[in-house]
Amino acid sequence: MKIEISLSGKPHQVELVQVGERMQCIIDGAPLEADAVNIAPGIYSVLIERESFEARIERQGRDLRVYVANQEWLAKVRDPREWRRIRAGTGAAEGRQNVVAPMPGKVLRVLVQSGEAVEAKQGLFVVEAMKMQNEIRSPKAGKVERLLVTEGQSVNAGETLAVIN
């Protein structure tokens, strides 16, 4: 998965690659040994090349405010998949939509049931990847036609988790 992160206005290309059981982080083309554990809501213990940090992250709309070692950064995360949807001019998704795992991980929680009505951007699943919890949201308002995974199940990147109609 490739994303662009702008830290205090400076853009960085970040790629997450599955290597065996671990995820490798490549920042601006350079591999980085890193590991992170969510120790409390919005607080992470981060190990970067054998140096430990505590990071606190606060949401500010679509952006993040990141605090590490008495320093503060504004992080703007841009996902290329979002750009493709915007550039395609589709606005809201239409028709039957497959909800897929954006990265390999483990389904921690299923937040909806088959047949349930959902709103656009409503949380459907919580998937753990790289020891971080990621909420997978509905691409459109509609009805959960099918759930294809259960809590505790491992999933691969691109694997369909649910169908929304």
Scan for tokens 């979002």, then name that residue.
82
| Percentage of residues in the chain having pLDDT higher than 70 | 87
- Domain end call among 80, 113, 130: 80
Q: Output the CA–CA distances (angstroms, integers) from residue 74 to 38, 61, 83, 121, 135, in the order listed.
A: 20, 12, 20, 23, 21
- Domain end call among 55, 80, 105: 80
Do 50 and 99 lie in one domain? The reply is no
Domain count, the chain: 2
Q: Is residue 61 part of a domain?
A: yes
Give the Cα separation of 59 and 143 in Å (integer): 28
Say what the alpha-carbon torsion angle 28, 160, 42, 69 is, to the nearest 10 degrees.
Answer: -20
Helix intervals (H) in the chain: 80-87
Residue 84, pLDDT score: 45
Give the Cα separation of 58 and 119 in Å (integer): 24
pLDDT of 82 > 70? The answer is no
The CB-side HSE value for 16 (13 A sphere, CA atoms) comes to 18
Q: Which residue has the higher pLDDT, 143 or 90?
A: 143
Residue 89, pLDDT score: 43
The mean-pLDDT minimum among 1-5, 29-33, 46-50, 119-123 falls in 1-5
Quick one: average pLDDT of 11-26? 76
Q: Predicted confidence band at 83 (pLDDT cuts at 50, 70, 90)?
A: very low
Q: Say if CB 104 and CB 157 are below 8 A apart.
A: yes
pTM of the model: 0.47
For all residues of the chain together, what is the average pLDDT?
83
Q: Which residues are 32's β-sheet partners?
A: 25
Residue 50, pLDDT score: 81
Give the Cα separation of 73 and 71 in Å (integer): 7
Q: Which residues are 37's β-sheet partners?
A: 45
- Domain end call among 34, 54, 80: 80
Planar angle of CA 101, 153, 132, nearest 5 degrees? 60
Q: Say if CB 126 and CB 87 are below 8 A apart.
A: no
Helix intervals (H) in 8-142: 80-87
Q: Which residue has the higher pLDDT, 25 or 117?
A: 117
Q: Is residue 86 part of a domain?
A: no
Do 76 and 13 lie in one domain? The reply is yes
Q: Which residue has the higher pLDDT, 7 or 84?
A: 7
Do 6 and 70 lie in one domain? The reply is yes
pLDDT in tens, 88-141: 444 455 678 889 888 888 999 999 999 999 999 899 999 998 778 889 999 899
| Percentage of residues in the chain having pLDDT higher than 90 | 28
